[in-house]
Amino acid sequence: GPHDGFVAIDPEGYLLEFEEFKQHKENEKFVPQLKQNPTVLPQHATSQVPDGLGFHSMITWLYYQDVLGMQNFYEETLGFELVADQGWTKIYQVSPTAFIGLVDERRGMNDYADEKAVEVAFLLERPDDYWAYVNAQAPFETVSTTGDTTQIMGLDPERYLMDFLSDGWME
């Protein structure tokens, strides 16, 4: 198939999916992106992870009722590129090593939930320009701002909290 993997449950009950994406029609744009990413090996001295095992990319899976509507939002409003279309999931690249996966809740491992347990944060290279875009276009519901360009919090159309932060937001 186009991918193989397994799912583990962490101590708090969250699902952790470990997956290998293979060369396949649905992954034509995705696999080359993944191959460019260096593997990050465990650095902690007490790590029990076997030598040579690490991670090179991460996908945050978000569950939606209207995947087509959310696909339009991620492409047209946020400007992300669709790198893998698996039919009931859509994967977007948001940085060299980070991806957002939109999942049709009727097919995924989890159901849609009104109350979200995930906040998606995006670090911005040009926060002033993004701030101007949000103020001029109102592309999503804004729920909080710092009054300057360091942080903009908003909700996507299905109520996931999105946090847009400048690179120096912690300073």
Domains annotated for the chain, with CATH where assigned, are 1-112 (no CATH), 119-171 (3.30.720.110)
Q: Which residues, other chains included, contact 136 with Cβ-Cβ below 8 Å and sequence gap of 6+?
A: none
Asked if the model's pLDDT at residue 112 lies above 70, the reply is yes
- SS3 category, 83: strand
Please count the other Cβ atoms lying within 10 Å of the Cβ belonging to residue 84: 24
The length of the chain is 171
- Select from 95, 150, 171 the least CA-distant residue to 163: 150
Lowest-confidence region among 23-32, 104-113, 120-129, 140-149: 140-149
Q: pTM for the whole thing?
A: 0.87
The predicted pLDDT at position 146 comes to 67
User: Which helix (H) or strand (E) covers residue 14, if one does?
Assistant: none
Cα distance between residue 152 and residue 154, in whole Å: 7
Q: Is the pLDDT of residue 149 over 70?
A: no
